[in-house]
């Protein structure tokens, strides 16, 4: 999806993602994928001047991959610690806590792509051995 995001876009995008996961019969990934997409899109709302981005959510053999690409060059970074009083700066820490892996890459045209992957629920949280 090619988007220009605004303050209310995130909740609509969450609904679309939830619908995809339901269609793919992957409700066990809903929390992680919805939260991950929400955080990445929120970063575009807050930090990308023209608020334009491309969102890809794809089903893979091993789970779901989501990517948000924009034309804004600065790469996001995971902050080691955030002040308790701060209203922001926790998005990548939340992403890191709920997905299997994530990363960011600079695009040749000056933008970036931030992505994450979530495995199937049994692969992410294996049952304890008896």
**pLDDT value of residue 55:** 96
**pLDDT value of residue 59:** 94
**pLDDT value of residue 61:** 85
pTM, two decimal places = 0.82
CA 72 to CA 119: how far, in whole Å?
29
**pLDDT value of residue 87:** 55
**pLDDT value of residue 90:** 64
CA 50 to CA 78: how far, in whole Å?
23
Q: Quick one: CA torsion of 7, 48, 90, 63, rounded to 10 degrees?
A: 90
Residue that is written with structure tokens 């970036």 in the block:
112
Could you say which residues of the chain have pLDDT below 70? 78-90, 120-130
**pLDDT value of residue 91:** 74
Task: State whether residue 102 is helix, strand or coil.
Answer: strand
**pLDDT value of residue 23:** 95
């Amino acid at each position: 999806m090619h988007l220009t995001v605004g303050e209310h876009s995130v909740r609509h995008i969450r609904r679309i993602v939830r619908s995809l996961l339901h269609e793919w019969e992957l409700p066990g990934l809903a929390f992680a994928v919805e939260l991950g997409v929400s955080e990445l899109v929120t970063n575009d709302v807050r930090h990308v001047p023209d608020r334009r981005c491309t969102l890809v959510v794809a089903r893979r053999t091993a789970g779901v991959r989501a990517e948000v690409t924009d034309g804004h060059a600065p790469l996001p970074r995971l902050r080691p610690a955030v002040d308790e009083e701060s209203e922001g700066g926790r998005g990548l820490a939340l992403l890191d806590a709920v997905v299997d892996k994530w990363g960011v890459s600079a695009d040749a045209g000056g933008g970036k792509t931030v992505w994450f992957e979530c495995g199937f629920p049994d692969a992410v949280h294996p049952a304890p051995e008896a």
